Chains A and B, each alone.
Chain A
Amino acid sequence: MALRIDYTHSLRAFDAHVALTVARGETLALVGPSGAGKTTTLRVVAGLLTPGSGHVEVDGETWLDTSSGIDRQPERRRVGYLFQEYALFPHLDVEANVRFGAPRGASVQQLLDRFRIGDLARVRVRELSGGERQRVALARALARNPAVLLLDEPLSALDAHTKAAVRAELQELLRELGLPTVLVTHDFEDASALADRIGVIVQGRIVQEGTGRELVARPLDAFVASLTGATLLYGTARLSANGLTEVVLDDGGAAWSTDQGAGRVGLAIYPWEVSLGRTAPDDSAVNHLTGVISSIVPVGNRVRVAVGELVAEIAAVSLERLGLGEGDSVVASFKATAARIVPLA
């Protein structure tokens, strides 16, 4: 195991207790609401925060062990830490920023070239664009040849246009480096694009861990479901005569699910599993909810259509073909297998 963390630290409202391992070449994303303990975990690994008790081990080297009094200073832990707003030194130029992390006398030209910032070597960092700042921060973090990579919201400071390109670059870089990486983000989409494994952290605890696909397939509860992008309907579940579980929805109507469940539950439905039509289609979908379109938001070549409490994500051309607009009445359909019963958070 390349990186092993286990710590307990009391935060303002709760105790954070996080235990995780990250293999060499693996990227683990910590996803969760702000203040859940994501950044705290990174700070513990970097040595910027000494937890109440805990253990941090990298490649068999103990960096922190409160029980035996080991607590290596941050400068003696080999971490590459990308801070949320990048924390570039404003009084230094690009080259000096990168060189700050490099061993004395080492050349950083190769790093500058690799991150395509060689031409910016003499530029003060405040004159850089968001994407350039991120590349400088990454080059600087890698200059000391780290054993672990810690990325705190690496994409949140970027505008939507730059974000897609930078995310692809970062993905490539992580694969190339082969370092154990912990990535913190509040965006599930970024997490599933960049990480091999995702840990959902709530109130200082990892409540569910798995690949992005696994989390979407079996969200632990309503919170994880909504974090992963599902729309949530609420209702009361009971076994129905046809072998499916019937959920009587709070807002009227009913839906059927292949999942088991009873009592008060959440029904998680992913927007891309909902189809729309002017009338109920004659296909395998058993769930048909009629509602009025309240909003239409384009996302690339798709549109997100809100119908009552549901959201459907369909191809923009499909919506055009149906000739639907805001205020129109529409039938939203989804399969019983797409209706996941989740316990309330």
Chain B
Amino acid sequence: MLFRATLFLATGVALAFLALPVIAIFARVPPDELVASLGTEAAKDALVVTAKTNAISMVLILAFGTPAAYWIATRSSRLRDAVVTLVELPLVLPPAVAGIGLLAAFGRLGLLGGTMEAFGIDIAFTQVAVVLAVTFVASPFYVRTAVAAFESIDPTLPSAARTLGAGPARVFGRISLPLAAGGLGAGAALAFARGIGEFGATIMFAGSLQGTTQTLSLAVYEQFDLDFDVALAISAVLVVISGTVLLSVKLLSRWRSGSTTPIPFAPSTPTSR
């Protein structure tokens, strides 16, 4: 009896602790005032910057990440492990380190800075920098999940397709891609959520200039000093986006496209082929 009561109590405390800050965001200011606060220039600018930079990032992540994930998933296990570790590094890197790293690579005094300056390109503190920062921190979420999705395809299916006359490109397009679709969608949603919330690397590499590089997350931080209600309103928007993403990941994971349903964050295991 005592044990069950303890369990119950601990669970209650944990849930309340996790839910309270989220509820507080919506509870402090009436909904109509929240919506009104979104009308301020700072909030509108941040929304536009965030939407634009994240849309470009997602396109880049999908366009480069999907082939990369497929390549990794179809390699032998030793090479695969090494490459996957490299891809996962940004996941565990402190955001400030990611920002410094991006500056050191693409900044004016960075590794590629000289070359880029010669071509008249200076990306530090521009929207390009925001896109790079978001892509850097968010893409591992997608690639990792996508590798797992491709690897969970029964290897006899691509083999069967080959014997039926399909070349590697057709196997990818007609078999692997549709079978991995559920996992790819879940990975994209996770990457999107991470990209929207990006803060550390962006503020170091791109700064927080309203209308140019100030994303929603950066705006929350700035408005926190200027107008707490606006900060709350933007936070509410981010909560809604995050909640939607989480929900869609769950739904995509459940939506079985054929044999493939990788669970995001589940350890991916190489398939022998």
| B159 on interface, CB distance cutoff 8 Å | yes
Flag if B156 contacts A83 (CB, 8 Å).
yes
| A178 on interface, CB distance cutoff 8 Å | no
Instruction: Knowing A87-B154, A87-B156, A91-B257 are in contact, say whether A81-B178 is a contact too (CB < 8 A).
Output: no
Q: Which of A81, A89, A90, A91 contacts B163 (CB 8 A)?
A: A81
Interface centre among B157, B164, B179 (most CB of A within 10 A): B164
| A109 on interface, CB distance cutoff 8 Å | no
CB-CB under 8 A from A221, the residues of chain B are none
Closest Cβ of chain B to A1, distance in Å, is: 22
| B166 on interface, CB distance cutoff 8 Å | yes
Q: Which of B157, B160, B166, B167 contacts A81 (CB 8 A)?
A: B160
| A79 on interface, CB distance cutoff 8 Å | yes
| A108 on interface, CB distance cutoff 8 Å | no
Closest Cβ of chain A to B166, distance in Å, is: 6
For B163-198 the 0/1 string (1 means CB < 8 A from A) is 111110000001100110000000000000000000
CB-CB under 8 A from A140, the residues of chain B are 164
CB-CB under 8 A from B91, the residues of chain A are none
| B162 on interface, CB distance cutoff 8 Å | yes
Flag if A90 contacts B161 (CB, 8 Å).
no
CB-CB under 8 A from B179, the residues of chain A are 90-91
For A238-280 the 0/1 string (1 means CB < 8 A from B) is 0000000000000000000000000000000000000000000
Q: Which of B157, B159, B164, B259 contacts A101 (CB 8 A)?
A: B164
Flag if A85 contacts B156 (CB, 8 Å).
yes
Closest Cβ of chain A to B162, distance in Å, is: 4
| A74 on interface, CB distance cutoff 8 Å | yes
Flag if B157 contacts A87 (CB, 8 Å).
yes
Flag if B162 contacts A100 (CB, 8 Å).
no
Q: Which residue of B lies closest to A124 (CB)?
A: B258
Instruction: Knowing A89-B175, A91-B258 are in contact, say whether A100-B166 is a contact too (CB < 8 A).
Output: yes
Flag if B160 contacts A83 (CB, 8 Å).
yes
CB-CB under 8 A from A91, the residues of chain B are 178-179, 257-258
Instruction: Knowing A90-B179, A91-B258 are in contact, say whether A75-B156 is a contact too (CB < 8 A).
Output: no
CB-CB under 8 A from B160, the residues of chain A are 81, 83, 87, 89
For A68-100 the 0/1 string (1 means CB < 8 A from B) is 000001110101110111010111000000001
Flag if A87 contacts B258 (CB, 8 Å).
no
Q: Which residue of B lies closest to A125 (CB)?
A: B258
CB-CB under 8 A from B157, the residues of chain A are 87, 89
Interface centre among B162, B167, B175 (most CB of A within 10 A): B162
Flag if B162 contacts A75 (CB, 8 Å).
yes
Bound complex: CA of A26 vs CA of B157, how far in Å? 28
Flag if B174 contacts A100 (CB, 8 Å).
yes
Closest Cβ of chain A to B151, distance in Å, is: 16
Main secondary structure of the interface of B (DSSP, over half): helix
Instruction: Knowing A75-B165, A100-B164 are in contact, say whether A87-B175 is a contact too (CB < 8 A).
Output: no
Flag if B259 contacts A90 (CB, 8 Å).
yes
Bound complex: CA of A26 vs CA of B90, how far in Å? 59
Flag if A48 contacts B159 (CB, 8 Å).
yes
Bound complex: CA of A238 vs CA of B210, how far in Å? 102
Flag if B164 contacts A143 (CB, 8 Å).
yes
| A163 on interface, CB distance cutoff 8 Å | no
| A336 on interface, CB distance cutoff 8 Å | no
Interface centre among A47, A75, A144 (most CB of B within 10 A): A75
Q: Which of B163, B165, B257 contacts A48 (CB 8 A)?
A: B163
Bound complex: CA of A159 vs CA of B160, how far in Å? 23
Bound complex: CA of A132 vs CA of B79, how far in Å? 41
Closest Cβ of chain A to B272, distance in Å, is: 11
CB-CB under 8 A from B162, the residues of chain A are 46-48, 73-75
CB-CB under 8 A from B174, the residues of chain A are 100
Q: Which residue of A lies closest to B258 (CB)?
A: A90
CB-CB under 8 A from B175, the residues of chain A are 89
Bound complex: CA of A81 vs CA of B162, how far in Å? 10
CB-CB under 8 A from A48, the residues of chain B are 159, 162-163
Interface centre among A73, A79, A90, A103 (most CB of B within 10 A): A90
Bound complex: CA of A134 vs CA of B236, how far in Å? 55
CB-CB under 8 A from B165, the residues of chain A are 75, 101, 103, 144
CB-CB under 8 A from B166, the residues of chain A are 75, 100
Closest Cβ of chain B to A173, distance in Å, is: 18
Q: Which residue of B lies closest to A85 (CB)?
A: B156
Interface centre among B165, B179, B257, B259 (most CB of A within 10 A): B165
Closest Cβ of chain A to B257, distance in Å, is: 6
Flag if B163 contacts A79 (CB, 8 Å).
yes
CB-CB under 8 A from A100, the residues of chain B are 161, 164, 166, 174
CB-CB under 8 A from B164, the residues of chain A are 75, 100-101, 140-141, 143-144
Bound complex: CA of A83 vs CA of B167, how far in Å? 19
Flag if A75 contacts B167 (CB, 8 Å).
yes
CB-CB under 8 A from B178, the residues of chain A are 91
Interface centre among A73, A74, A81, A101 (most CB of B within 10 A): A74
CB-CB under 8 A from B154, the residues of chain A are 87
Closest Cβ of chain A to B237, distance in Å, is: 36
- In the A-B complex, the 7 residue pairs with the smallest Cβ-Cβ separation, listed nearest first, are A90-B258, A101-B164, A74-B162, A87-B160, A81-B163, A87-B156, A91-B258
**11 pairs, CB–CB < 8 Å, chain A vs chain B:** A47-B162, A48-B162, A75-B164, A75-B165, A81-B160, A87-B159, A89-B161, A90-B179, A90-B258, A100-B161, A101-B165
Chain A residues engaging chain B, CB cutoff 8 angstroms:
46-48, 73-75, 77, 79-81, 83-85, 87, 89-91, 100-101, 103, 140-141, 143-144
| Beyond known contacts A75-B162, A89-B175, A91-B257: 5 more, CB 8 A cutoff | A48-B159, A73-B167, A80-B163, A87-B154, A103-B165
